[in-house]
Chain A
Amino acid sequence: MLEYDFMRTAFAASGVAAVLAGTVGFFLVLRGQTFAGHALSHVGFTGATGALLFGLSPLAGLVGFTLVAGIGMGLFGEKLAERDVAIGMMLSLALGLGLLFLHFYTAAATQAAALLFGNVLGVDSSALLTLCVLAGASLLALAAIGRPLTFASIQPELAEARGVPMRFVSSAFLAIVAVAVAECAQIVGVLLVFTLMVGPAAAAMNLTRRLGPAVALSAALALAEAWGGLTLAYYTDWPASFWITALSGMVFFGAAARRFAG
């Protein structure tokens, strides 16, 4: 299957997005912010449909909207309980707006399906380059804030007392999440972003209790699920997004079962 150009591009694109998603997703789970990640993907839907309507690249619309929304959420504050409601409202608002944009956009049906459920085989080489550059920059940024981010995630009250700039860390992190969400949406679609961002990270946490290995394992699982899904899609002709969600679900529930079994 690797003799085809489009397959090679698809493997590269899904690999890059998966490694980013697995790494960023680990911290998302550690911070208990998976819902924020989910909401960001819906905001991305609005951005992408808006971009289509105005004749721009959907990837640009996706990244632009998720970034602004991510930074906004981070600045919004630390009170989780109140934030969940606000995030949920933003999520519905975004989806509604996206629907309106689609309504005005004539070639809606195929584009909508691609945005919602992904179209990894449709990634071209210029999009691949963009994905690589964004992923590289995000991983570098994540490494740069890694220590304060970990501290602030595990022990927020102590981190605040020790002088960690909480707002900055939280906004910078959500900006990185925004990019990861946009990349994932290219592969599995906005509705299934959870499968690469949260599934592998949660499974990794069930499999190891050391921080470094857990991050690495999360990235590795995401990569394996993405490539495995793509391979299965090639041989069965079923959608790649389906296979990726299936593998991700299997790994997650398998890891949970292993943990509870002892």
Chain B
Amino acid sequence: MSALSFDQATIRLGRRDILSGASFSVREGEFVGMLGANGAGKTTLMRAALGLVPLAAGSIQVLGRPVARGNPAIGYMPQNRGAISALRLTGWDVVASAALGRRFGFARLDRAARREIDWALDEVGARDLARRSIGELSGGERQRVLLSQALLGRPRLLLLDEPLISLDPAHQKSVVEIARRICDDLKVAIVFSAHELNPLVNAIDRVLYLGGGAAVIGPVEEVVTAPVLSRLYGAEIEVVRVKDRYFVMAGDVEVEREAHRHDEAHGHAHDHDHDGAHA
């Protein structure tokens, strides 16, 4: 059984096919880096696995079952976290809000639930950070606190949407290391989307590349090659490898770096995540 499998899946938003007849699967306990340009469909793919976006054709299975909204086996960290950086509540309260988030009636946080929250915070080393106001944390610190929230309920598949956005290289490294450790310790499969391959390249088991409605999964050295990427991008792509670093070039432009820059500017305009990142 695989943690996540797409079978001839087509996702149509408006008139565009974001994914057309894509098939791939993520194994249990595997750490997969998901890459693709802006608008390639990374967020959409995760939302489809969560049952938030309907399929036009094909099927998706999560741990051997058809998708269902609110599946407790999936832990999710959304990409759009802008509003939260304006919040003054403590990280602990923010994380805890998810713990009983689905319970109507007069639900109380009992001791077991509190212990579970502390456990999740310890997993990412954010127990002390969580005492502070979530809005005061730096981008990297906040990311760690929110990552712990995705661990509540001990999911078997984690969908992390761009945890590295607007982090400097040192913080990127620590977030990737934490994800790797969570993957090993908790035997949970992780799909980790990103704009750049290099911060992930030593940590991930396989890479999932999206582009032009297609998806290709495999070991980095098999997927990140000129022929495969040229097909996905629909343009002539060159891949230059220097030791463990990959440079994906379209003509003179380094594709991924451009995409990332674009997104940083985006982050600036819409939230203040960025401010703390270099602090």
Among B52, B83, B89, B100, the residue within 8 A (CB) of A161 is: B52
Give Cα A159–Cα B99 distance, bound, in whole angstroms: 11
Q: Are B98 and A151 in contact (CB under 8 A)?
A: yes
Q: Is the interface of A mostly helix, strand, loop or mixed?
A: helix
Q: Are A162 and B103 in contact (CB under 8 A)?
A: no
Interface size on B, residues (CB 8 A): 31
Q: Are B106 and A164 in contact (CB under 8 A)?
A: no
Nearest Cβ distance between residue B267 and chain A, in whole angstroms? 16
- Name B71's closest neighbour in chain A (CB-CB): A163
A179-220, CB under 8 A of B: which get 1 and which 0?
A: 000000000000000000000000001100111001000000
Q: Are B102 and A163 in contact (CB under 8 A)?
A: yes
Q: Are B90 and A162 in contact (CB under 8 A)?
A: no
Among A32, A144, A164, A211, the residue within 8 A (CB) of B101 is: A164
Q: Are A154 and B89 in contact (CB under 8 A)?
A: yes
Q: Are B98 and A155 in contact (CB under 8 A)?
A: yes
- Name B101's closest neighbour in chain A (CB-CB): A151
- Name A169's closest neighbour in chain B (CB-CB): B104
Does B242 make an interface contact (CB < 8 A)? no
Q: Are A211 and B93 in contact (CB under 8 A)?
A: yes
A150 contacts which chain B residues (CB < 8 A)? 97, 101
Given contacts A151-B97, A162-B98, A209-B89, contact A157 B78 (CB under 8 A): yes
Q: Are B90 and A210 in contact (CB under 8 A)?
A: yes
Does B94 make an interface contact (CB < 8 A)? yes
User: Would you list which residues of chain A between 144 and 180 have a CB under 8 Å from chain B?
Assistant: 144-148, 150-152, 154-155, 157-164
A151 contacts which chain B residues (CB < 8 A)? 97-98, 100-102
**A interface, CB within 8 angstroms of B:** 32, 143-148, 150-152, 154-155, 157-164, 205-206, 209-211, 214
Q: Given contacts A144-B105, A159-B98, A163-B70, list 16 more A-B pairs with CB under 8 A.
A: A144-B106, A148-B101, A150-B97, A154-B84, A155-B78, A155-B98, A157-B78, A157-B80, A158-B149, A161-B70, A162-B70, A162-B101, A163-B71, A164-B70, A164-B101, A209-B88
